[in-house]
A and B are shown apart, each in its own frame.
Chain A
Amino acid sequence: MNIVLDIFTIAAVSAGAFVFMAGTVGLLRFPDELTRLHALTKADNLGLGLIVFGLLPQMDNMFAALKLISVWLLVQFSGAMVTQLIARTIRRGMNA
């Protein structure tokens, strides 16, 4: 059973790392700021979700697993808000 859980963890965390890298490639290669922002937030939320999902079997008890999930939810929430604020500033810069 443990070996199956370890393989699951490795697969999910690797997938998450790949998604993060895809988002970073988007950050470096996309033409303007709004598309870069889009790539970054989508990829980071999904990537963090995959990593958290992969780490869940390694936790000792339910509490620790809930803490990990709440970390992911908090990052999504605050990330979404901050992305909105940055996008609004970019649009104001474009309209000016």
Chain B
Amino acid sequence: MTMDIVFDIGLVALLISIAVWSIVARDAFSAIMIFMVYGLLLSLAWVRLAAVDIALTEAAIGAGVTGMLLLNALARLRMTGSDAAPAALPLRIAAGVLCMLVSAALSALVLFPSGEPTTLAPAVMARLGESGLENPVAGVLFVFRSLDTLLEKVVLLLALLAVWSLAPDGLWGGIPGLRVFAEKKSVLVFLAQTLPPIGIMVAIYMCWVGASEPGGAFQGGAVLAAMWILVMVAGLRKVPSIDSQSVRLAMAVGPVVFLAIGIAGIFVANSFLAYPSDYAKPLIVVIEATLTLSIGVTLGLLAAGPPEKVQQP
């Protein structure tokens, strides 16, 4: 038991020092790199907290795609010189005191909790078997709180619409300005030819196995998005215009199927998003599969950004 706590203390010390370094680093490039390292270490922390599903999601989305997004943005901003006018000393001292108070209050909440820990785990495990799933987190996501998951998918779509709407009016329907490095016979092209088949297999496996072990639609979708971005950046496939019917169909199929099954549940199983007890597992598998595709396409397009070139006729 003591070796575990030594490892945890080391991990926490590393996490905090890396987060501090990311905030106080001088130039933005190193800050973003350090943030990606921080995200990967955070996945280790999630495993220590017995939340392997979250560790997978954090590694894929939190560290991977977010870091890529920020690096892309930094490259476009073409930093000329360092930060403009760092905040004045009185502001920094005031902010420091405020933040220390916030941290102290939260630590007090953690160290001196009031009352016994309440937990919903027995309630979840009591009814989980009826749906045919064995992974309790998947059960919560797709059976007990499936409305949250449906709305979360809609939030992703709304964010994508918001990003697209930031383009100037004349460019609506154009091609996103993802920077492409398409040199023939380069190492990047070789990587983009050999890694995606493996990545797609890993994504499908993660989605499929999420019913009984850690995994699921979001993790698989993030890996799918990463493979698609790799293929686009290497120039092996053109970046699609936002008008493209197949892309819009792929984005819509996840939430539409989810919503349709939910509405059908009103007639077949007496309430919105309820599953008939014999068909629960197949329906959930269909929802997860279509959701993986939609999430992959949506995350990839979110990383590609708003349209910047008019589509060639």
Contact = CB atoms under 8 A, between A and B. Distances in A.
A–B contact via C-beta, under 8 angstroms: yes
Interface of A: 74, 77-78, 81, 84-85, 88
Contacts of B194: 77
Contacts of A85: 187-188
B45 to A, nearest CB: 20
B120 interface: no
A81 B191 contact: yes
Interface of A is mostly: helix
A81 B234 CA distance: 13
9 contacts: A74-B198, A78-B191, A81-B187, A81-B188, A81-B190, A81-B191, A84-B187, A85-B187, A88-B187
A81 B198 CA distance: 15
Contacts of A78: 191, 195
A81 B196 CA distance: 14
A70 to B, nearest CB: 9
Nearest to B181: A85
B182 to A, nearest CB: 14
Nearest to B188: A85
B193 to A, nearest CB: 11
Nearest to A82: B191
Interface string B167-196: 000000000000000000001101100110
Nearest to A83: B187
B227 to A, nearest CB: 12
